[in-house]
Amino acid sequence: MRWSVHREHTSQPPDMPRSGTPRFAPAPPARKAPRTQPRRPRRRRALLITLGLMVGFAAIGGQLVRLGSQGGAAFTSARVEPLGRMAARPDIVDRKGRLIATDIEMHSLFADPSRVPDVDEAIEALRKVLDDLDEKALRKDLSDRSRRFVWVRRGLSPAKAQAIHEQGLPGFGFRSELRRVYPGGAGLGAIVGYVDIDNRGRAGIERFIDQQGAADAVFAPERSGREPVRLAIDLSVQAALADELQQALSRYAAKAAAGVVLDVRTGEVLASSSLPAYAAGDAAAALDPALTDRMLGGTYELGSVFKVATLALASEAGIIEPGRTFDATQPITVGRFRIDDYKPKRRSLSAEEVFLYSSNLGAARMAEEAGDTLQRRLLTRLGLLEPMATEVGTLPAPQLPKNWGRIHTMTVAYGHGIALAPLQFAAGMAALVNGGQSVKPHFLRQDKAPQAASPVIGPTTDQLVRRLMRLNVAHPEGTGGRAAVAGYDVGGKTGTADVPIAGGYSKDAAVTSFVAAFPMRAPRYLTYVVLFEPRPEAGVDRAATAGLNAAPTTARIIRRIAPMLGLAPQYDNDGS
Amino acid sequence: MSRWLSIIGVGVTMTTALTLYAVKLDTRALALHVASLEQQIERTEAAIGLLTAERAHLARSSRIEPLARQHLGLQPMQPEQLASVADVPWREEVERYRRQQAARQLLSGRAVDSGEEPNAEVLAARGRGAVRFDADGNR
């Protein structure tokens, strides 16, 4: 019988057909074929084998159908290029998502001189694409046949690289590299920082990104897949602030100008500018001491703006009562120090008057009466006495009196004998107008409001500070009258500090500043503007005090930024 | 019977083998396709990155502001220019005018954006048969 041979094979294990070759060896034994009784066991065995084979084939068929319908597993290709480690960095965007920094893939053209057949022809071809080609240098490089690698041009745009590629030059090749570019980084050098040649963050937010481990080492130039880093900065507000400061710089012929806009509840820095400024990514400028960012990078004696804190101190100490006055009849002399007012009234002043006339004597008396312990406790809780850490690095440490004696209590009351980074001061002031919640300046957007802690100041103090700051702008005798902006309920305090020079203070160089918050009923934003060595506005003013330069600059800034910040003007009662 | 089974078996085996081979070929083609797509994605992403950077560069305030001042005669917004809708005095008249316009559009057979069906009167006035409008006002 024909099948007998194959029958012999059926004694093989039933999984034989799985071995792959589509041999027709294990023939399905027929059910009917062997009819005789003695063959019955064989027949049953054959039947079993047949069944087994069918199951096997069914399994294979089923698997095929499954593969066919579902498609294979994800395919990934890896391309390794002989490149050093570089970092793919997440984009940096402003609080509204506008691009500040990004990685782009740049192509760099190199040549292997030993494989360039015709140097002249190659240069001729390159010149068609690169019109600023240094032919001499390139000819020299390419003629040196002993060299195997010379850079022709680094950082080519894709269009130019394509054009060169199409020339089909033998001996030339491209490598692509990641480059950090800062399309929206104008004037943000001190905040955004810069990266090194390997795309590693070295300063500012860029360094912060590396510290957070968000810069990924890559071998091929690929863009980071991470979410963009969202700054608290609003580029529109930033541009308006920088523009107004620039105008102030020329209007008052100041040496430098700095300004900041803070959200008083979260401490977010919506804009921070210091002129002269430099662009993000400019490492050389960042290291130039003449361009130090004065908002974040230097400490200054800020003067009478500190009287806001002194007022809060006196209120917390419970020494401000109706009818209570502070002696400002004559200068105070302690050791070799002499304290006097800028425009002495020579009489006792109420707390309101001390604030509105910006009386040093009155402030000194308040602080003295409140005591240095309470003073230091309040200033510490406002965050003014310790180095302040931010995302862009720790601010320069405050310069404090070594032994905090009676005289220091008095001078600190009006902002002398203590030097701070203006940003740190601004953050401290935010706590005095936001209901007493101490805040830290944040350069990254905060999506959640900070948790409410026990307030630094009580409700009475909160109301008093806001009322007097508002009065200082609204009242005809206040020093901040020029900071008024109709509809925005601006309140603030001036500060004119003489610049310390060897052996005392300069008579004609000053740092003038104005700290303001708006709207004063329930402050949302705080601005702090500092002008360095301003002069009287030509043909308008005779003096150069803060009320004449920093205050009107603040008003101009608020006029521009308040609508951007979504605040509608509210005109009521006194039309302001 | 066994013969038939054998023939079917051979058929199944060969079909399986062919299918398997076809799948293998397909897989290879798909892998190539995937690789080329991935390359294309990479290139497109790089191009998007570049264009985004370029766009941000072109949209920077220091460029837009002088352009807006010079060519459009614009200047920074002043608080006095802000008003709420409630402050606009002739709001009701605007509303009435808008309603008239809508009615006129209906009568002229133009689209209405509300998605409402023009009523029988309007259709009769138009002198045409019933025409259905979809939400965009297209017939």
Say which amino acid occupies A325: T
- Chain A nearest CA to B91, separation (Å): 20
| pLDDT for the residue A36 | 53
Structure tokens at A58: 């069914």
Non-local (6+) Cβ contacts of A444 within 8 A are A205, A229, A230, A231, A232, A391
Q: What is the separation of C-alpha A361 from the centre of its chain, rounded to a whole number of angstroms? A: 41
Give the residue numbers of A marked as catalytic.
Answer: 304
Which of these ranges, A58-72, A85-99, A245-259, A405-419, has the smallest mean pLDDT?
A58-72
User: Does the structure show a pLDDT above 50 at A331?
Assistant: yes
Which whole number is the average pLDDT over A149-168?
A: 84
pLDDT tens, residue by residue, A479-510:
999 999 999 999 999 999 988 888 778 877 89
User: Does the structure show a pLDDT above 80 at B34?
Assistant: yes
Strand order in the sheet with A504-518: A269-275, A256-263, A525-532, A504-518, A491-501
pLDDT tens, residue by residue, A425-471:
999 999 999 999 999 999 999 988 888 888 999 999 999 999 999 99
| pLDDT for the residue A31 | 55
User: Does the structure show a pLDDT above 90 at B77?
Assistant: no
Query: In which band, very low, low, confident or very high, does the pLDDT at B58 lie, cut at 50, 70 and 90?
Result: very high
Percent of chain A whose pLDDT exceeds 70: 90
Which of these ranges, A137-141, A297-301, B70-74, has the smallest mean pLDDT?
A137-141
Among B50, B54, B63, the residue to mutate for chain A (most A Cβ within 10 A):
B50
A425 vs A69: which has the higher pLDDT: A425
Minimal-distance CA residue of chain A relative to B77: A560
- Chain A nearest CA to B95, separation (Å): 25
Block residue for tokens 């041999």:
A23
- Cross-chain Cβ contact B46/A158 below 8 Å: yes
**Contact between A480 and A551 (Cβ < 8 Å):** yes
Is residue B34 within a helix (H) or strand (E), and if so which, with residue range?
Answer: helix B2-58
Which of these ranges, A9-18, A327-336, A443-452, has the smallest mean pLDDT?
A9-18
A317 vs A13: which has the higher pLDDT: A317
- Cross-chain Cβ contact B27/A181 below 8 Å: no
| pLDDT for the residue A552 | 96
- Cross-chain Cβ contact A22/B52 below 8 Å: no
* Region of residue A15 (phi > 0: left; psi between -120 and 50: alpha; otherwise: beta): alpha
Query: In which band, very low, low, confident or very high, does the pLDDT at A361 lie, cut at 50, 70 and 90?
Result: very high
- Cross-chain Cβ contact B16/A222 below 8 Å: no
| pLDDT for the residue A128 | 86
Average pLDDT, rounded, for chain A: 87
Q: Interface pTM (ipTM) of the complex?
A: 0.70
- Cross-chain Cβ contact B12/A57 below 8 Å: yes
User: Does the structure show a pLDDT above 70 at A6?
Assistant: no
A61 → closest Cβ in B1, B16, B59: B16
The B-side interface with A (CB below 8 A) comprises 1-3, 5-6, 9-10, 12-14, 16-17, 19-20, 23, 27, 30-31, 34-35, 38, 42, 45-47, 49-50, 52-57, 59-62, 65, 76-80, 82, 84
**Contact between A494 and A512 (Cβ < 8 Å):** yes
Q: How far apart are CA A268 and CA A84, in angstroms?
A: 38
Query: In which band, very low, low, confident or very high, does the pLDDT at A174 lie, cut at 50, 70 and 90?
Result: confident
Q: What is the DSSP string of A302-363?
A: -GGGGHHHHHHHHHHTT---TT-EEEESS-EEETTEEE--SS---EEEEHHHHHHTT-HHHH
| pLDDT for the residue A159 | 79
| pLDDT for the residue A28 | 55
- For A304, phi then psi, to 5°, come to -65, -10
Query: In which band, very low, low, confident or very high, does the pLDDT at A27 lie, cut at 50, 70 and 90?
Result: low
- Cross-chain Cβ contact B80/A569 below 8 Å: yes
Query: In which band, very low, low, confident or very high, does the pLDDT at B121 lie, cut at 50, 70 and 90?
Result: low
